[in-house]
Structure 1
Amino acid sequence: MLTVSSWGRLGSWPHDAVALTDREAIPGALAARPGSAIAYGMGRSYGDVCLNPDGGLWLTAGLDRFIDFDPELGRLRCEAGVQLGQIQRFAVPRGWILPVTPGTWMATVGGAIANDVHGKNHHARGTFGDHVRRLRLVRSDGSVIDCGPDLRADWFAATVGGMGLTGIVAEAELQLMPVAGPWLDVETFPYDDLDGFFALADGSEGDWEYTVSWVDCLAGGRGRGIFMRGRHSTERGRPEPAMGARSMPFVPPMSLVNPLSLRLFNLAYYHSGRLKAGRSLAHYRPFFYPLDNLADWNRMYGPRGFYQYQSVVPRGTGRDAVGAMLAEIARSGEGSFLAVLKTFGEATPVGLLSFPMPGVTLALDFPNRGPRTLALFERLDAIVLEAGGRLYPAKDARMPRSLFEAGYPRIAEFLPYRDPKLGSAMSRRLLGD
């Protein structure tokens, strides 16, 4: 048995783990194994979508090979355990880049598909699944299903965002996006309240590929913060920045994120952002993946780990709902310094259970302080539910089933595509299996 945790480090549990390293052998391996299991790549999901305590895990990080690349069309075929960083390092010097990428490049292609991840440019490019042309799915009975947006599209829609429950993704073909180089033109603006945020977001989405903001969740419902927008630059020839040299070397006995450190950090970050306002040139790595510059940063939350709470609410209710959540967080004294606020575009989700919807999304990290943290989440749940929103399963470790069912109206369409021998702690919590 292998003891495994997810990125939130809320606990670690024994798993019967089997490594997959040969994609041709996956059908036989799945057909021969009894009991339930779930795929586990790099463990970058925050909650329990990739965990199956006392059950089976299929370790997919060894499926890490490129299969084919068309340099003229930007089509990459690769195994599901390939990390997004491998693709970026290979593709950007050749004039291509992933069209959509989440906040870490250490996630795998299979994980990006299973969670239908999004990035800073949903308004322009949709989700990761929008750029998957084909995928090969292996079922637990050994059968193989090739699918895509124009081939067995029903299986494709169930698998993209399907939390790894329709089968094991063995390989995928991705459409990359052309770029002139690794640099982005960036503009940074402070904003004083949520009205300022929405004005900046609405004024940027027509001309800027990427938009994102940090919000000070301790400023009450006011919602002051720092807004950034970026687009690819034609700049060439500059030396690339060094990244990844620092790490959090140990787990402190208690969380370093506490009311005092939060207030000091948020105050310093906001005023530093005001001083840095204006135009700059940024390399794509620190712009897309700022936290990857500190390895094992999740250790700073101490031995009890942390939760991430990410919601999306419709635009019509978004201003009031986000303000209500920020006010509730400020009253609770819990707080988060990794607080991200951004808008989603109008694109129709690819997957039956894809998270994004037209509206505004707020993502926050909270140290695990037990019942008081969970009580705060219940109050935030009520705001999200009333606003007609939903939570992100890839980040979740405690969403009640009732909120999942209210937020994902296509669950009944998804269930016929579930693999009977694939299950996780999350599927048991949210789907009742």
Structure 2
Amino acid sequence: MTLVTGWGRFPVIDTEISRPCSLAAVGEAIAATAGAIARGNGRAYGDAAIGARATIAMTSFDRIRSFDPATGRIRLEAGVLLSDLIETFGPRGFLPFVVPGTRFVSVGGAIAADVHGKNHHCEGGFGRYVERILLRTGQGETIEVSREDHSDVFSATVGGMGLTGVILEASMRLRPVETGWIRERIISASDLTAAMRALDAGDSATYSVAWIDCAARGSELGRSLIYLGEHANRGDLPDDTDEFPTGQAPGFSVPIDFPSMTLNRYSIRAFNELYYRKGARRAGGDHVVSLYPYFFPLDTIGGWNRIYGRRGFLQHQCVIPGHGAREVLGDILERITRRGDASFLAVLKKLGQGEGLLSFPLPGYTLALDFPLRGDILSFLDEIDRLVVAAGGRLYLAKDARQSRATFEAGYPDLPRFNAIRQTLDPEGKIRSRLSQRLFDEVQP
């Protein structure tokens, strides 16, 4: 048995780990226990990639099977990381259509979570660009699913958190690009209303995201920096600039768990003030920046999750439908400022409709907040959950470590359909995670 956590380092769970190196070995790992789940690179924040009894590490499945440069179609194993795709195919003129906030995510994990990026409002999530999935079910079958073949299983697998079976391989499309640079424009917003208006006005931009100062109060509540982006063409680059920047290793790695007192109302307020002022000075004209800091700013800090201390942290990411979102998001930010426990990282984006039955996105606004695990934070987040549910929103399963069954069921109306499909694939319940145990599996004796 091995102690395992998600990226948030909570909860800490004892699990058996198998590391299969062949398709047959994956089948044996599933058959050997009642309650296994696949695990990619361990970047789900909570307990989604930890098995109810056993965890199947898919890191050995890291081969690219085929690539067609005429169409951008690629077939690859589930353990391939997005960083591998970027570094291998970026210099050839291709990138993933969708990337989340870290490039160190496996393709299998990106499909299972139907991850979204800064372009969901106009281009959808990761699952939109997946065409076929090779799946090993709890019954021991290996099936290939798509929108044409086993379409119900495909819709349950995209965003299904690995619960329809172990994703072995996938076929998907990559985006043709001229360079590995982004033409960025920064907009300074004085409050939440201005930030949301700027995001709405930026609907035509391929990429848009807002950083929110959660320490700002009063008339400055929700002041933000909005980052709009487009893929840069060769003509946008200064002379003598390489068309594709090299991947950046972390410039600094956190060597130890920070003391719990490091992140407090004073340090966060000081950091946010400096960050806002620096960004506001750059607001206005376009800047050409490497794709790495634009898409993956936290990847420059190795082990950044240790900043939150030994007990770890919780990320709360919700989506609120567009109608009434301003009022609900303002209420959430007001409650945070009253606590004096501002989120160190707060990100606001616009989303469209999700691809799968359990995909997180809804048309509206998503707010992601990080909190150290201390004090009464669990009860405070329960309070926030009630606001989200009342507004018709829901929480992101890939980030969740503590929401209740009631919150989950209220937010995911397609759960009965998902469960029916899952039951046909796995009547004995071989595929189960700690997340599914917590939120929607029948209680086991």
Bin for the TM-score computed over the shorter chain? over 0.9
**Structure-to-structure mapping, 1:12-91, within 5 angstroms:** 12-23=12-23, 25-31=25-31, 33-52=32-51, 55-91=53-89
**In the alignment, does 2:245 pair up with 1:238?**
no
Q: Residue 182 of structure 1 is aligned with which of 172, 176, 180?
A: 180
Give the Å deviation of 1:163.
1.0
Which shifted more, 317-326 or 2-11?
2-11
Overall identity of the aligned pairs, in %: 42
The answer as to whether partners of 1:334 and 1:373 remain within 8 angstroms in 2 is: no
Q: Give me the TM-score of the superposition, normalised by structure 1.
A: 0.96
Amino acid at match of 1:349: G
Q: Secondary structure at the match of 2:323?
A: helix
Give the equivalent residue in structure 2 for 1:394: 398
CA–CA separation in structure 2 for the residues paired with 1:21 and 1:384: 42
CA–CA separation in structure 1 for the residues paired with 2:82 and 2:367: 24
Give the equivalent residue in structure 1 for 2:388: 384
Give the Å deviation of 1:40.
1.2
The answer as to whether partners of 1:162 and 1:351 remain within 8 angstroms in 2 is: yes
CA–CA separation in structure 1 for the residues paired with 2:86 and 2:24: 26
Give the equivalent residue in structure 1 for 2:340: 333
Give the equivalent residue in structure 2 for 1:422: 431
- Count of matched residue pairs: 427
Q: Residue 408 of structure 1 is aligned with which of 402, 409, 412?
A: 412
CA–CA separation in structure 1 for the residues paired with 2:298 and 2:342: 19
Q: Residue 349 of structure 1 is aligned with which of 354, 360, 364?
A: 354
The answer as to whether partners of 1:135 and 1:148 remain within 8 angstroms in 2 is: yes
**Structure-to-structure mapping, 1:201-220, within 5 angstroms:** 201-206=199-204, 208-220=205-217
Give the equivalent residue in structure 1 for 2:168: 170
Give the Å deviation of 1:24.
5.2
Instruction: List per-residue Cα deviations over 1:231-263 (Å, max 9, x = no partner).
Output: 001135524364423211111242532212111
Instruction: List per-residue Cα deviations over 1:378-422 (Å, max 9, x = no partner).
Output: 221111111111010110011111111110000000002223111
Amino acid at match of 2:179: G
- 1:173–1:109 Cα change, 3 Å: same
The answer as to whether partners of 1:255 and 1:367 remain within 8 angstroms in 2 is: no
CA–CA separation in structure 2 for the residues paired with 1:65 and 1:24: 17
CA–CA separation in structure 2 for the residues paired with 1:9 and 1:257: 16
Q: Give me the TM-score of the superposition, normalised by structure 2.
A: 0.93
CA–CA separation in structure 2 for the residues paired with 1:185 and 1:255: 38
The answer as to whether partners of 2:30 and 2:430 remain within 8 angstroms in 1 is: no
Which shifted more, 373-382 or 308-317?
373-382
Q: Secondary structure at the match of 2:97?
A: coil
- 1:90–1:255 Cα change, 3 Å: farther
Q: Secondary structure at the match of 2:233?
A: coil
Which shifted more, 236-245 or 253-262?
236-245
Q: Residue 273 of structure 1 is aligned with which of 255, 274, 279?
A: 279
RMSD across aligned positions (CA): 1.5
Give the equivalent residue in structure 1 for 2:3: 3
The answer as to whether partners of 2:160 and 2:359 remain within 8 angstroms in 1 is: yes
CA–CA separation in structure 1 for the residues paired with 2:78 and 2:39: 11
Q: Secondary structure at the match of 1:428?
A: helix
Give the equivalent residue in structure 2 for 1:157: 155
Give the Å deviation of 1:181.
0.9
Give the Å deviation of 1:425.
1.3
The answer as to whether partners of 1:36 and 1:421 remain within 8 angstroms in 2 is: yes
The answer as to whether partners of 2:322 and 2:363 remain within 8 angstroms in 1 is: yes
Q: Secondary structure at the match of 1:394?
A: coil
Give the Å deviation of 1:28.
4.2
Amino acid at match of 1:65: R
Amino acid at match of 2:283: A
Give the equivalent residue in structure 1 for 2:135: 137
Report runs of 4+ in structure 1 exceeding 3 Å deviation.
Answer: none
CA–CA separation in structure 2 for the residues paired with 1:149 and 1:20: 29
Give the Å deviation of 1:320.
0.6
CA–CA separation in structure 1 for the residues paired with 2:292 and 2:74: 20
The answer as to whether partners of 2:253 and 2:302 remain within 8 angstroms in 1 is: yes
CA–CA separation in structure 2 for the residues paired with 1:96 and 1:77: 14
Give the equivalent residue in structure 2 for 1:359: 364
The answer as to whether partners of 1:23 and 1:63 remain within 8 angstroms in 2 is: no
Which shifted more, 247-256 or 378-387?
247-256
Q: Residue 306 of structure 1 is aligned with which of 300, 303, 313?
A: 313
Give the Å deviation of 1:49.
0.9
The answer as to whether partners of 2:19 and 2:60 remain within 8 angstroms in 1 is: yes
Instruction: List per-residue Cα deviations over 1:263-286 (Å, max 9, x = no partner).
Output: 111111111111121321011111
The answer as to whether partners of 1:255 and 1:300 remain within 8 angstroms in 2 is: no
The answer as to whether partners of 2:11 and 2:401 remain within 8 angstroms in 1 is: no
Q: Secondary structure at the match of 2:226?
A: strand
Unaligned runs of 5+ in 2: none
The answer as to whether partners of 1:215 and 1:224 remain within 8 angstroms in 2 is: yes
The answer as to whether partners of 2:259 and 2:309 remain within 8 angstroms in 1 is: yes
Give the equivalent residue in structure 2 for 1:121: 119
The answer as to whether partners of 2:207 and 2:230 remain within 8 angstroms in 1 is: yes
Q: Secondary structure at the match of 2:324?
A: helix
CA–CA separation in structure 1 for the residues paired with 2:432 and 2:152: 20
Unaligned runs of 5+ in 1: none
CA–CA separation in structure 2 for the residues paired with 1:195 and 1:34: 52
**In the alignment, does 2:194 pair up with 1:196?**
yes
Which shifted more, 263-272 or 217-226?
217-226
The answer as to whether partners of 2:308 and 2:372 remain within 8 angstroms in 1 is: yes
